[in-house]
Amino acid sequence: MNDATAPALETIALAVPPSEAGDAISVMHSAFAEFSLTGEPSGALRETVDSLRAEMTGDVRVGIARHDGRAVASVKHHVADDGTLYFSRLGVIPDARGQGIGGRFVRALREHARGEGLRGLSCLVRAEEARNIALYERLAMRIVSRGRKQSRTGAVLDVVAMRDE
């Protein structure tokens, strides 16, 4: 389903209060659980309500998309040293995928970044995640480098760095 035919979300809030960390963690764990089945488990599964709340007291903001009041997507973001809005842990729960939610979230983040005078968006993506890379490329992001990163699980993963064009 494309954005034009997708059901409207009730809300996309880009900076929820720490009291909503539980909803964000529920989404994150649901969205990233598939990595346990297909390869190296995601470090997202090691995040907790308390660890996320601790990040939220610093410079990390958490966004949540809700449909009919239910949290269906979440994302973490902060201003990066290079002047971009860096986002991570963008995840959509499995039964809400294919409705354009991820794309709407990225566009909302970009609009927010530009409104704050930032240079656009940046993120890291597992190199093996061709669908996510393709989504971000469709949304005007490009691979700017390749490298390796140690996950919270201790695994060393091949990643690509992406930024707005």
**Model pLDDT, residue 6:** 56
- Mean pLDDT for the stretch of residues 40-67: 87
Phi, psi of 75 (to 5 degrees): -155, 145
| β-sheet bridge partners, residue 121 | 85
- Mean pLDDT for the stretch of residues 48-65: 94
Cα angle 153-154-156, degrees, rounded to a multiple of 5: 115
Phi, psi of 115 (to 5 degrees): -65, -25
Do the Cβ atoms of 159 and 149 come closer than 8 Å?
Answer: yes
Residue 155, pLDDT > 80, answer no
**Model pLDDT, residue 1:** 44
CATH number of 11-119: 3.40.630.30
**Model pLDDT, residue 38:** 61
| β-sheet bridge partners, residue 88 | 76
Residue with tokens 């880009």: 14
- Mean pLDDT for the stretch of residues 58-80: 95
**Model pLDDT, residue 66:** 95
Helix (H) or strand (E) holding 137: helix 130-138
Q: What is the DSSP letter of 42?
A: P
- Mean pLDDT for the stretch of residues 75-102: 94
Residue with tokens 């959509």: 92
Sequence-ordered alpha helix ranges (H) in 48-140: 49-56, 101-115, 130-138
Taking alpha carbons only, the member of 26, 45, 47, 24 closest to residue 36 is: 45
Global pTM reads: 0.88
Return the percentage of the chain with pLDDT > 70, whole number. Answer: 88
- Mean pLDDT for the stretch of residues 47-62: 93
- Residue boundaries of the structural domains of the chain: 11-119
153 or 49, higher pLDDT: 49
Taking alpha carbons only, the member of 70, 61, 56 closest to residue 112 is: 61
